[in-house]
């Protein structure tokens, strides 16, 4: 799932509320990915993309560990 910082904040906080990118990452995205990993037995990778020093978008990859082939 990929989207701009505005998209992500809209999905999690609604259209009216906004917070700084750092606070959004710490309070929302990090907590959400940890919960997904725990409850779904998944592996989450969250990438942030920057334009200069400003974060402009995020990309979340979720891998279902139960579907991985063990050697």
Q: So what's the pLDDT on residue 66?
A: 81
**Is the pLDDT at 71 greater than 60, yes or no?**
no
- First and final CA of the chain: distance in angstroms? 28
Locus of tokens 């990452």: 25
**Is the pLDDT at 44 greater than 90, yes or no?**
yes
35, 60 Cβ separation under 8 angstroms: no
**Is the pLDDT at 37 greater than 80, yes or no?**
yes
Q: So what's the pLDDT on residue 69?
A: 67
**Is the pLDDT at 30 greater than 60, yes or no?**
yes
Q: How many CB atoms lie within 10 A of CB 32?
A: 14
62, 42 Cβ separation under 8 angstroms: yes
Where residue 41 falls among pLDDT bands split at 50, 70, 90?
confident
Q: In angstroms, rounded to a whole number, what is the distance separating the alpha carbons of residues 1 and 46?
A: 10
Mean pLDDT taken over the chain: 89
């Amino acid at each position: 799932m990929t989207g701009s910082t505005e998209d992500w904040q809209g999905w999690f906080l609604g259209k009216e509320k906004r917070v700084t990118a750092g606070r959004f990452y710490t309070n929302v995205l990090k907590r959400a990915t940890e919960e997904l990993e725990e409850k779904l037995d998944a592996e989450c990778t969250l990438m942030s993309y920057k334009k200069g020093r400003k974060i402009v978008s995020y990309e979340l990859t979720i891998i279902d560990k139960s579907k991985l082939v063990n050697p």
